[in-house]
Amino acid sequence: MKTVHQACYEILREQGLTTFFGNPGSNELPFLQDFPTDFRYILGLHEGAVVGMADGYAQATGKPALVNLHSAAGTGNAMGALANAWNSHTPLVVTAGQQVRTMVGVEALLANVDAPSLPRPLVKWSCEPACAQEVPLALSRAIHTSATPAKGPVYLSVPYDDWKQEAGPGVEHLAGRRVELAGLPSDETLASLVSTLEQAKNPAMIVGPDVDAADANSFAVTLAEKLSMPVWMAPSAPRCSFPTTHACFRGLLPAGIASISRLLEGHDVVLVVGAPVFRYHQYEPGEYLPKGTRLIAITCDINEATRAPMGDALIADIAQTLRALAGRVSQSARPLPAAMRRPEPAREESGPLTPERVFDILDDMAPRDAIYVNESTSTTGTLWQRLRMTEQGSYYFAAAGGLGFALPAAVGIQLAKPERRVIGVIGDGSANYGIQALWTAAQYNIPAIFIIMKNGTYGALRWFAGVLQVENVPGLDVPGLDFCALARGYGVDALRADSSESLTRALRQALASNKPMLIEVETRT
């Protein structure tokens, strides 16, 4: 008879979850015993970094990744990163070791009391099986729940004495199961939507991260071209779903109610695809939509559909629906929108580099299929204006706004996409939240490039202090950090740049290397 341990590893193997990201404790050791040679374990030095790496890896592959955390403490350390994964619809199967069953009730050391409740509401499903024989079924359910739209993290707590128990009858049916969602709208629904779009006098489209996640950018481009629509990226977009060089592209929407409404003025139909409606940030009261504007959202997430404060929503497969619309709408007689002018090259000035100058150099030198992972939050608008992002899967950002995403995510994305160069653009305040991922990059020789935008302050907070009109706030500056020394301490080569010439040399060296490298860039606030 198979053990629970054997049955679960067969499920993981058949479902393709052979890469683990983890930071194990004593409760997890029985699960990792006799680790198979066809699996790999990517060790991280902090659970937040572990989930960040898995988040990047799962987003880049589009498939679930397995995370191995230590009981309640490890789960707690990972909660900020789970918030990002939840908001980006990242399919993660998070496992956590539990005390032996006879010790949970007395709340022995390392018992995860009420384990299923701990990660909520940042997971789609959470479970601690009632007995050992239920563990394989719970693992199978976790994998399929994570991978079906809207994708997202799930959580499974397993007492560590369960792994050696005999599996129950019928466990052999679990490993090869397939669960798929057929999400194409009916012909009648599609016909109605096509008619609405074709009859619109001035339609516009807003695309969100789920378009890029569905590999559907090209369908969005075709639809925009056929209807001659201007296209915006959704506010605070964690991915780039439309080529930033395209004539239809209008940039990143702001995150305020009134600002969005002003930009949509004059558009009678607004089609939102693969994005919440909308993810606002700063409170900016106003009308949700201009008078006379109809909004229609296509989403894979029932929660996003139902919580929207305005418009109609269609819950459907993003790629199939976009492809169907692009194929069915007629070519509009309207001319394409005039392309936005690219900003003038930033001037060379003495002293620390401006963010504009950094991005101009980066755009000039990086491969056209480079993948950017952004957590320089105060320069996000500038990045979108100056970096040409044209390929599928070219951009990632923390979906919940939680710091600590970009540095570990860059490691995970580079691991998933070894054929492309991954470049993290990370603020000096943000970098400290996931700095431990540098060790993983060094140990596994994952050649991501980390550009630290060092200005000595939390720039986004300083901007928000202005928005809120607050003064004399403590804790906004972070002086005295030496990222080159930190990187070398973790085993990563590092260079310092304080001019265009030195940044150009550093980037040339990093791009020619097959090892991870950190570049600390002195920038202006």
Place of tokens 């653009």: 425
Burial of 186 (0-12, 13-18, 19+ CB in 10 A): exposed
Active site annotation includes 47 = yes
What is the edge-to-edge ordering of all strands in the sheet holding 92-98? 40-43, 19-22, 65-69, 92-98, 154-159, 125-127
Q: Side chain identity at 140, as an amino acid letter? A: S
Residue of 26, 117, 195, 513 with catalytic role: 26
Other residues' Cβ atoms within 10 Å of the Cβ of residue 120: 11
Active site annotation includes 281 = yes
3-state secondary structure 192-241: HHHHHHHHCCCCEEEECHHHHHCCCHHHHHHHHHHHCCCEEECCCCCECC
Six-digit token string for 507: 């980037």
User: Can you tell me the distance from the alpha carbon of 435 to that of 219, in angstroms, rounded to the nearest whole number?
Assistant: 37
Residue of 281, 332, 391, 502 with catalytic role: 281
Contact 161, 30 (CB under 8 A): yes
Active site annotation includes 350 = no
Which residues have CB under 8 Å from 220's CB, separation 6+? 205, 207, 211, 231, 241, 242, 273, 322, 326
Which residues have CB under 8 Å from 488's CB, separation 6+? 494
3-state SS class at 426: strand
Active site annotation includes 70 = yes
Active site annotation includes 5 = no
Residue of 5, 44, 56, 70 with catalytic role: 70
User: Can you tell me the distance from the alpha carbon of 7 to that of 177, in angstroms, rounded to the nearest whole number?
Assistant: 13
DSSP per residue, 439-466: HHHHHTT---EEEEEE-SB-HHHHHHHH
Residue of 44, 401, 412, 434 with catalytic role: 401
Residue of 5, 10, 22, 28 with catalytic role: 28
Active site annotation includes 173 = no
User: Can you tell me the distance from the alpha carbon of 104 to that of 113, in angstroms, rounded to the nearest whole number?
Assistant: 7
3-state SS class at 395: strand
Contact 115, 157 (CB under 8 A): yes
Active site annotation includes 144 = no
Other residues' Cβ atoms within 10 Å of the Cβ of residue 109: 8
Residue of 14, 25, 62, 134 with catalytic role: 25
Residue of 5, 10, 47, 376 with catalytic role: 47
Burial of 230 (0-12, 13-18, 19+ CB in 10 A): buried
Q: Which residues are catalytic?
A: 25-26, 28, 47, 70, 281, 401
